Structure 1
Amino acid sequence: MNSVLLVSDQNGVRTLTMNRPDKLNAANDELLLGLTQALQDAETDPSVRVIVLTGEGRGFCAGQDLGDVAGRDTTFTEHLNHTYNPLIRTLRGLSKPVITAVNGIAAGAGASLALAGDIRLWSESAKFIQIFSNIALIPDSGSTWMLPRLVGYHRAFELMAFAERVDAEQALALGLCEHIFSDGSFRQDVQAYAERLAQRPAHALTLTKQALNAALTQSLSASLDLEAELQQQAGDHPEHREGVSAFREKRAANFVNLENRLV
């Protein structure tokens, strides 16, 4: 429990828990670099089908631990390029689904991290705040790219300009999260959701992520071409054959450990 990052595995789900609860999981270099490495490790581990990122205690992540960078002879640009930017690029580039389970306050770069999941699950007491303008900085760690795509330019600017606090119900209405779970059962509900996702066809979801990420920055014509290419890859995979067989046999498809059942 002395580690700044806790790692646990259960039924194909790897949970990464930021573990600085006394500081609401405010990020220092050790946590940021460790989290990037842990995500890379999860990507290459065949037993991991879904990744959950959450926080210990009352906070998800309160952003940068300012005490950790006080007095350093380093620029903002250097710090971002060494810590946050590799983390966000790694998280968004994973082939496996990532759930950000926002259990409490997500502020500053922690708010950026909360947005970066493929699916965002919030506890009823979770809060989101783009707090950067309170100390006369701009939103970073991907917020200027992600937030306008979720809520539109104008609402994103307002949230950033006024450092407006958003609660869970507002977040759901704005599209900042997909589901809200009660505080008392949050971890169990997140685990159950993640395990359900882990039963889905992993290869097809990898291709789905690839298509969705590409579609954010390309034309409809390019997306149609990519869909056709990726659909062929999906159709050639054993998952597809299992899905079709299950449909014909009127049973639930079993996409887990499929390679061990091939003759």
Structure 2
Amino acid sequence: MLRTFLSLLMTAIFGFLQAQERIALYDTVPNTKDTANISNNTPELYSYIPSKIKHPYVFLIIPGGGYTHIAMDHEGHQVATRLAEQGYCSFVLKYRLPSAKQQMDKRIAPIQDAQRALTLIKKKIAEVPLDGAKVGVLGFSAGGHLASTLSTHFDTDYHQSGLAPAQLRPDFSVLVYPVITMEEGITHNGSKQKLIGPEFNQEDIVKFSNEQNVNSHTPPTFLIHAQDDKTVPIENSYRYQQKLNQYNISNSLFSYAIGGHGFGMHNKQEPREWFNNMLDWLNNLKF
């Protein structure tokens, strides 16, 4: 009986996921070396549009993985499924992993994909019967670094396509145990090495330490972090929040005493749930 139930449940979940639209980000992937085989590293976007849209907030979900892999399930599709169940539109991004063998400039490949995804989402949402849509970003771990890059680098069009900062700026940010800084002793060394390594220069460390790029136009932000996170220290979130406060930008930090790293939507070590707290914060924001 249990096996039958689980089988039916998995079939239903798989069918739900398969029903989502998969969108190619590009006709021709930019910043690619002529000799590169990118079949295993092609960016895509998965849309989750509920049959009954109940809220104007739209999420670009960016899973983590240390810039070495992408945790598409528990930091991507599962999150989008839950949002859809509550009437929110969302899109899950499979971005390019930085690769010096594949990309002419590996440092900017992920942010190119995030900017492209955001602009595609804004166009697609304009076709949906949704008044006053606000499109934000929700990123986990290294995906949180990419989400915070999207939230602080909108003055730079990484495609050099003439888009204005307003078109490249998310309306809000949700950063879950995010890598924020590239500074030694606080960053996640694996993410730093993969994105801007193996040799480091001070210009790149500053450029991709996103607490140093916060300004008065940075979107309102909800941060989630566990105090015992040994992989990505909570100091990353503290530094970002400190800069947000400096510019009087609306923000909130939901911290756990225990939980470690990579818990996704469900921290099994504490009963409190960040997900619904985040939605309450979002629905009370004044744009």
TM-score scaled by length of structure 1: 0.39
Pick the structure with greater CA Rg. Answer: 1
TM-score scaled by length of structure 2: 0.37
